[in-house]
Structure 1
């Protein structure tokens, strides 16, 4: 289906940016002179800017639908290269806030469109689309790490990613699917609130590890830039594999998926946090990624079921906004914990959050029963 392929390209370039950003982060930290705690606070500005943008995007998603996707792709491409130009902490804060606006708009736009396509055509594409995102992170992480090794400046790397993002808008131009009338319903209904908070835990672990894995390898284990780039790259590769398999295999329950996700993430993070060799830490990142691969597609799919006909877009927006609190808070929290202890302490913090994620499985089982599934 051409619409799904164009949307998959949007997911892929979105992931390409975040993989490239993670691999470029050590160089950007050196260029700005930011400490771990300062860098964590700068990353928090992504959240402060993204959340209001997501509220705006969610409000218009059910009104304008897929027409927003190419607009958001162009805007994100226009701002994605800015962090590579930062040479001070204040400049990094400003540029990350602008990127946060683009991130919030694009995240809601593509996920709301995906939920609408699933409902319109009666297909399962969420796992596959999120696999495209993780594939982009994989290519961005490994590719940018190799480019850094041969001397490429982060500004040039991010500029190429920005151009590709803007060009992807062409693949998402009309014709657009019909829109159902927006349904009035409580945006913070209890099931949506629960799903959103669980998604926040999953995203906290996912983006925290994605953003700081390269720094852990380079600063704590004295790895080269090419090896440190393998941190977010292999983590994303494990998520690609997990999501491709999840697209093909029917799991018995939402609760079962999330139990596996949390326990695998906790085991992998514990292995990485106690590692003294890069190979062992990378193995831990792979285990964690394979488990976390199940989280976002499962919870977004559940949100669509909670929303029902005419309310899927609003439901998905609500859950995404809540979940995104964890996505953008993860790097900042690890920065705070690492500043107070060490990067190993930051990974152990994520391990504890993953254990809590696994413990949420029975709660999600009750949510499924509550919506009559």
Structure 2
């Protein structure tokens, strides 16, 4: 199935993916200046980012309830809440207040994330087509573009708040176009007692590996380029931009590959490729080699998270799909509890090179998890295998 066709079918949730990508790409490029504004060490900054993790994980548990209550307006509410929340962290200079404002960011981002992934999974079931990679690819495109633009605005001396406010204005404009009602599913009479614990646990662990790796590189790649390798502000912003760009390429390519290969096979290959990229970034002697590593890492890790979420949508009965995706996302996004803190502590103790080496080891964990997922029975009908 073509990428354009997939995006046409899922254009409303795809727009929500763009919104999240724009804001997180902007934040990644501004990490060095925000960190300096707070006067925080590596370890402290990593700990402060737990604020967003707290909000994210809280949202994962609340999202199914919010989705049922808000219905067709759930994605619209999530976009508005996220736009408002991102106006607070860039103006904070007190560490504790920064952590609190990032909690609101995490809460809004998590709510929107669960709802938009659930809508894509529903569309996959309705059309019998893989759609998840194309939508996550739109996140990556928006992330890369936003990081690049933010790098140039940093070089020009523009304050972060003006950049975030500009993005918020753009995102507000698309709110009327992303209204989408959830699919109506009836509970089958013979499956009420079978909660999909193992699919959620195993797929959640796969998503955890992907999101922990993405989070560490997004938050620390600019610092690695600027501090470890001596790059400037624009060169530093190119680190997360390279990650976002190659993740977009990987996800759009994965959209085509997913119509031909099983999710498990894709996760196995992606785990090995992304681990190799992390190691190249870890040992890079200059920014150009780090960009190569981030690029290879982005190509590989790009499909692991979407495939994990798509996989759990096929391993559970339809009426539990939104809840299962939400619970899987809880496990996956819990990586935001550990990733910033562990990366900060490892960097403080051993340097960012060793920390990125740890990311490579983490990515290899996707291999045994994918093999476990292959043993689980599918509940959804197989998708049409054509491009």
- Using the size of structure 2 for normalisation, the TM-score is 0.90
Structure 1 match to 2:294: 285
User: Residues 318, 187 of structure 1: CA spacing in aligned structure 2 closer, same or farther, 3 A cutoff?
Assistant: farther
* C-alpha separation in 1, matches of 2:313 and 2:178: 22
Which range moves more in the overlay, 351-360 or 15-24? Answer: 351-360
1:246 matched to 2:254? The reply is yes
Tell me the distance in 1 between the aligned counterparts of 2:193 and 2:69: 15
Q: How far off is 1:63 after superposition?
A: 5.9
Equivalence for 1:42: 48
Partner Cα distance (1:236, 1:348) in 2:
20
Number of aligned residue pairs = 372
Q: Secondary structure at the match of 1:311?
A: helix
Corresponding residue number in structure 1 for 2:169: 163
Which of 100, 105, 126 is the matching residue for 1:120? 126
Question: SS in structure 1 opposite 2:375?
Answer: helix
Aligned to 1:276: 285
Separation in structure 1 between the aligned mates of residue 233 and residue 128 of structure 2, nearest angstrom: 44
For residues 318 and 66 of structure 1, the distance between their equivalents in structure 2, rounded to whole angstroms, comes to 21
Q: Determine the structure 1 residue equivalent to 2:146.
A: 140
SS of 2:175's equivalent in the other structure is helix
1:92 to 94, 98, 114: 98
Q: TM-score, normalised by structure 1?
A: 0.94
On the 8 A contact 2:206/2:370 being kept in 1, the answer is no
Tell me what 1:237 maps to: 245
Q: Distance in 1 between matches of 2:316 and 2:68?
A: 12
Q: 1:254 to 1:149 in 2, by over 3 A?
A: same
Counterpart of 1:223 (choices 218, 224, 231) is: 231
| Cα shift at 1:287 | 0.3
User: 1-side partners of 2:241 and 2:134: how far apart?
Assistant: 18
CA distance in 1, matches of 2:317, 2:355: 39
Alpha-carbon distance change, 225 to 295 in structure 1, aligned in 2, over 3 angstroms: same
Q: Please name the residue that 2:274 is paired with.
A: 265
> 2:338 aligned with 1:329, yes or no?
yes
Q: Distance in 1 between matches of 2:231 and 2:367?
A: 31
In 2, Cα distance between equivalents of 1:62 and 1:117: 17
Alignment gaps of 5+ in structure 2: 1-6, 383-387
Checking the alignment, whether the CA contact within 8 Å between 1:81 and 1:161 is kept in structure 2 is no
1:298 aligns with 2:303: no
Task: Give yes or no for the alignment of 1:309 onto 2:309.
Answer: no
| 2:120–2:132 contact (8 Å) kept in structure 1 | yes
Query: Residue in 2 aligned with 1:201?
Result: 209
Deviation at 1:173, TM superposition (A): 2.5
Q: Give 1:251 deviation, angstroms.
A: 4.0
Secondary structure at the aligned position of 1:367 is classed as coil
- Gapped regions of structure 1 (runs ≥ 5): none
1:191 corresponds in structure 2 to 199
Q: Distance in 2 between matches of 1:266 and 1:39?
A: 25
Q: Which residue of structure 1 lines up, in the alignment, with residue 112 of structure 2?
A: 106
Indicate conservation of the 8 Å contact 1:66/1:177, yes or no.
yes
**In terms of mean alpha carbon deviation, does 20-29 or 345-354 score higher?**
345-354
My pick for the range that moved more, 275-284 or 54-63, is 54-63
Give deviations 1:169-227, integer Å, cap 9, x for gaps: 221125x3552246756656112111111211111111111111011111111111111
Whether 2:185 is the aligned partner of 1:180: answer yes
Aligned in 2, Cα 1:7/1:369: closer, same or farther, shift over 3 Å? Answer: closer
- Contact persistence 2:119–2:182 (CA under 8 A): no
Verify the 8 A CA contact 2:316 2:379 in the aligned structure 1: no
